[in-house]
A = this chain, B = another copy of it.
Amino acid sequence: MGRLWQTKLPQEVKTFLFGTARLADYSPVKGCMVIRPNGYSIWEAIQRDLDRRIKETGARNAYFPLFIPESFLKKEAEHVEGFAPQCAVVTYAGAKDLEEKLIVRPTSETIINSMFAKWIQSYRDLPLMINQWANVVRWEMRTRLFLRTTEFLWQEGHTCHALPEEAEAEARTMLLVYQSFAEEVLAMPVLAGLKSESEKFAGALRTYCIEAMMQDKKALQAGTSHNLSTNFAKAFDTLFLDKDGKQKVVHQTSWGVSTRLIGGMIMTHSDDKGLVLPPRLASTHVVIVPILANASMKASVIEASEKLRKEIAGAAQVSDLPYSVGVSVDTDETKQAGWKFHEYELLGIPLRIEIGPRDLEKQQVVLTRRDTGKKEFIPLSEVPQKVVHTLAQMQKDLLERAKSLRDQNTFTVESYQEFKEKLEQPGGFMVAPWCEDAKCEAKVKEETKATIRCLLLDEKFQKIPEQKHCIFCDNKGPAVRAVFARSY
């Protein structure tokens, strides 16, 4: 990650990417952001791809009210304790004080359970798998564009099952859907693990999460999947008549990812020149810049560019690329080619093609990759295939590059001393044996500002037992392998 994202730089520099690449903007409402078209098109690409993956698991989309009666939030004790301090509350509406205050949803477990309780009668209605794309509001003290905003956009899945093991399996399935989505589409490698008790969702039995490492080596929680057990179902009487004729409580999950993914993706790939977009998130993949300085050649250079645009689009259409490839030709004569190059680098367009009079003579173009900056002369006839190939390659390379940064900055530490040293320099993920005591976890957080990002899991989703004892305290009992880091 380039200097753009370093926390201590002046505001002018930090807003460069948001200001000039026009992805987002601060709004007049404290902590709320405006997602501008360049940013929103990334969210649309995320929605298109993830929505398909979610539907493939059997969930269907629905929509539930924005407002939650205050009494609903209070029905699950841990839930209200966790969310009440962050709530925005509607107290009057239609020019009258409300009899019952309405909470602007911070998440929808409660209102959705009130409907599930109506809809579910018997085991035949299970599993019930619902997803919602919506806005939610959590009043935050310190906000950052995309990473932590008072209002954000997300999807929240909510499922009901007859058996506890089905709910557990669903929570794990969605964790893996998020992991493969993050890696295949955002090119953002993530650890999939389990949250510690103190970091789990308010009201959950168990919270799984995916955790990414940003270029500054800080961690970012990128998605969560909760096994809610019967906590909400009991509070809302979400019952079903089982095959054995007995009334039982359903077992539930919920899972979500948000516009925070855009922030994570930006901080995973961008550099000092601006945004670097994985091809699967781009809407324009290739920009062709004809060099128009020579007046007599202008028409033929533009003509060749247009022909190339069509050929690339045609080749992409019959390729294996899992998205439609956008190609544009920039014939604006009020801007210099150099200005355009900078602009498209800033915007993160994956590939740039230059074609000038001399290139045309030689029947070639210059192809430049946004991520590596590598330039190549490519014979005109080979360009369409080369573009298709390079887009696929870039998607892979971005993931590999991020993976190796993460792996190089992940350390298995053997003592608290080593933990503290490595955390300072070079920083990153510290894998350490931990006793699972919350007091010990709190002490580490207070002393180092590092938190447990997740507990690592084996292939059967069991916490990995450590041979060594906890390195943070005197507890000589069994320890598990935990990943610590400073985080966003």
Contact = CB atoms under 8 A, between A and B. Distances in A.
A91 B91 contact: yes
Contacts of A27: 64-65, 111, 114-115
Interface string A134-163: 110101110000000001010000000000
Residue of A36, A41, A61, A63 ringed by the most chain B CB atoms within 10 A? A63
A339 to B, nearest CB: 14
Given A28-B69, A66-B137, A130 B37 contact: yes
Contacts of A84: 95
A32 interface: yes
Interface string A83-97: 011111111111100
A160 to B, nearest CB: 14
Copies in the complex: 2
A134 B35 CA distance: 13
A351 to B, nearest CB: 22
A139 B40 CA distance: 29
Nearest to A151: B66
A90 B104 contact: yes
Interface residues of A, number: 54
Contacts of A61: 37, 40-41, 44
Interface string A41-76: 101100000000000000011111111110010000
Interface string A105-142: 00000010011001100000000001000110101110
B65 A41 contact: no
Counting from the closest, the 10 A-B pairs by CB-CB distance are: A94-B139, A37-B60, A32-B65, A88-B93, A35-B63, A91-B91, A93-B139, A29-B65, A29-B67, A27-B65
Interface of A: 25, 27-29, 32-37, 39-41, 43-44, 60-69, 72, 84-95, 102, 104, 111, 114-115, 118-119, 130, 134-135, 137, 139-141, 151, 153
